[in-house]
Structure 1
């Protein structure tokens, strides 16, 4: 992993830092790791390597992706973001913003990640640190105090505010530039609700299965636009649909609960009645063909028919209405179980975040610099990949819990 690092001492301290992340113990910041590393526990050298040493994490991430691609055998790229909670305001890009980590608006950094994923394994191979508008001197919402801290935090002058969905597209492009071609992108509603993200994925020739909110609007799949008669005055009327677009929730409710079909998408980790002795992950789902609406999509289609897409909704037998929605451009002949398994594969990224945060110290970095954050999350990703390799190469007896 560290062969691209230019100096011998960088490669050495990279390996030491990685061992510090993998060792049992509590907090995985520099000082407690140094205490656990014995003779290699040079706190100053570790801090210099991770915070200010001039090595490019992109080279390590590319090697990580190449190493994990034949192991994971990815069927999808999953993108998401996670919060790094902070008490102070000196860390790069920290601000008050919403994060699912805390479930509320709080003081934090936000990192966007991209993961190779399949049914059997996943690996985080790319990262971006989200820079809020308050940190961007070119933004009308710039905060003078935060802009003044950019130099101390080592934020490159060319880095400005970019929306998270665009950061995700940039990471997809970079990952493909490494020679990894994965034909499917999965994301939650934070990305799926943005039409520009979906259109960007389609422009790259990729399929997607993304979460959407209940208020997303669409026309039924069999709806067709019509053009009003021209009166001879003014502009010729543009084609339009005879009925206004409806929310996806109302479309599913109109189809009725009887349209829901039972699907089991995988077996979980808890004891249950599945074939492997684990609990079955099971629910009921409705799949409809719809035409997503919205200003950006109408502009992209230039007045012709809106494209037909899959709307997938989870409607449990115990619920009076559907509880979760996805949109996908997978082919029309895609079976319902495939749609469900594809949409539900996003559990992999939640599992990765949990392992990296609870065991490998993803959120324990105490440095305040832009390079330090990128170095730390890259090393944690390598540590997580090492654990994944160990888990996949050992026999079930070796990896069974005590």
Structure 2
């Protein structure tokens, strides 16, 4: 771990905390996250930075102290923007299995990438991503309806009064829009997974806010072919997979560099002008279809409102998901992104903010 990186992050971010005691606790918590082995509980963190004598102070700092986490997240994003020059925001789901029923947000959740239901918490993280590294800067928890409508549970977990139930996909879009509308930083193209959710509603919210997006969609996603010269025009709503199959003759070999494995790769891909059916004011979109094996089935389908972008730039953008997945696997657990053991909504957000800073410090230290 680079001490220079840790000191710089502390110097840039923690002056935003108004009290000296809070700045001290923030640095202690960060250093504990970076040095503790195993689960990053407050007890383990305290053991690394001062022993049992400060455990209660750190517990109060995370669960009860009133410091706001959003300014730190915005400052972390600004630091990443200046240091790493990210080219995209990648929205990545976080599934946190958890027993019991007292921690905020715990419920039965479906994890599409696992293909199963689990009990625990579910969140969406927005990662600032470049080909070289990525780090999460914003989080939004999926808070199931019982945690909002049950006044007892809501009070117990300190859930804000203005929070409303959101699906996994709605939560992803809300996390992005919070950054676009409230943070003073340049917006980047957003990558997100819409294979399970209401694609029209999500993409409409993003387009209305002026956000460029590349959204992975399911093969069954219904689309209208908008190009009169393309097969399927005037055929009504067709499944995205069928639209892709109808234009296989237009596939183009696209070279790209696998930034995770460090090897050159080539795939075939094409784009088709489409619109989503059902919208009051249909927006022009492009369907990006990819074939990893030219002789095999379509391996990926995305919708984008970046209709003038080149096929190469869209495909290269889609591969940034691999960078985020790799960085989460090698750093995320070590930084404590799944380890908050408290019960409150605010405590979870404060822990996730500092764990995101720990992830950033580790990523920068190992890529410097």
TM (normalized to structure 2)? Answer: 0.87
| Matching of residue 216 in structure 1 with residue 221 in structure 2 | yes
CA drift at 1:67 = 1.4
Equivalent residue in structure 1 for 2:313, among 310, 329, 338? 338
Secondary structure (helix, strand or coil) at the match of 1:219 reads: strand
Q: Per-residue CA shift, 1:69-126, capped at 9, x if unaligned? A: 1112122222232111101111001100112575411111111111222222322111
Alignment length (residue pairs): 352
2:55 alignment partner in structure 1: 43
How far is 1:24 from its partner? 4.9
Q: Distance in 2 between matches of 1:100 and 1:360?
A: 24
| Equivalent in 196, 199, 213 of residue 194 of structure 1 | 199
Residues 342-384 of structure 1 show CA distances to partners (whole Å, capped at 9, x for unaligned) of: 1221223323432443211111111111111001100001111
Q: 1:134 to 1:294 in 2, by over 3 A?
A: farther
The structural deviation recorded for 1:190 is 4.4
**Which 4+ residue blocks in structure 1 deviate beyond 6 angstroms?**
none
Deviates more, 1:309-318 or 1:45-54: 309-318
1:253-272 equivalences in 2 (<5 Å): 253-256=245-248, 258-270=249-261
Match for 1:314 among 286, 290, 294? 290
Which of residues 353, 366, 386 is equivalent to 2:361? 386
Give distance in 1, aligned partners of 2:119 and 2:295: 35
Q: Tell me: CA distance 1:189–1:69, structure 2 relative to 1, closer, same or farther (3 Å).
A: same
**Normalising by structure 1, what TM-score?**
0.80
What is the CA–CA distance in structure 2 between the aligned matches of 1:352 and 1:82, rounded to whole Å? 13
Matched, 1:158 2:170: no
Partner of 2:352: 377
In 2, the alpha carbon distance for the partners of 1:7 and 1:366 equals: 25
In the alignment, which residue of structure 2 is the partner of 1:328? 304
1:24 and 1:90, CA in 2 relative to 1: closer, same or farther beyond 3 A?
closer
Instruction: Give the Cα–Cα distance (whole angstroms) in 1 for the partners of residues 256 and 214 of structure 2.
Output: 15
Of 108, 124, 134, 2:146 maps to 134
1:193–1:211: 8 Å Cα contact kept in structure 2? no
- RMSD of equivalent CA atoms: 2.4
Deviation at 1:260, TM superposition (A): 3.1
8 Å Cα contact 1:252-1:286 kept in structure 2: no
Q: Name the CA shift for 1:382/1:148 in 2 (closer, same or farther; >3 Å).
A: same
Determine the structure 2 residue equivalent to 1:206. Answer: 211
Which position in structure 2 is the counterpart of 1:236?
none
Q: Distance in 1 between matches of 2:36 and 2:113?
A: 24
Give the 3 Å change call, closer, same or farther, for CA 206–357 of structure 1 in structure 2.
closer
**Does the residue aligned with 1:181 lie in a helix, a strand or coil?**
coil
CA distance in 1, matches of 2:210, 2:58: 43
Query: In the alignment, what sits opposite 2:240?
Result: 248
List alignment gaps of at least 5 residues for structure 2: 1-12
Structure showing greater radius of gyration is 1
Per the TM alignment, residue 159 of structure 1 is displaced from its structure 2 partner at its CA by 2.0
Unaligned residue ranges in structure 1 (runs of 5+): 138-143, 225-240, 271-277, 302-306, 394-402
Give, in angstroms, the shift of residue 172 of structure 1.
Answer: 3.0
Question: Per the alignment, do residues 283 and 33 of structure 1 end up closer, same or farther by CA in structure 2, a change over 3 Å counting?
Answer: same
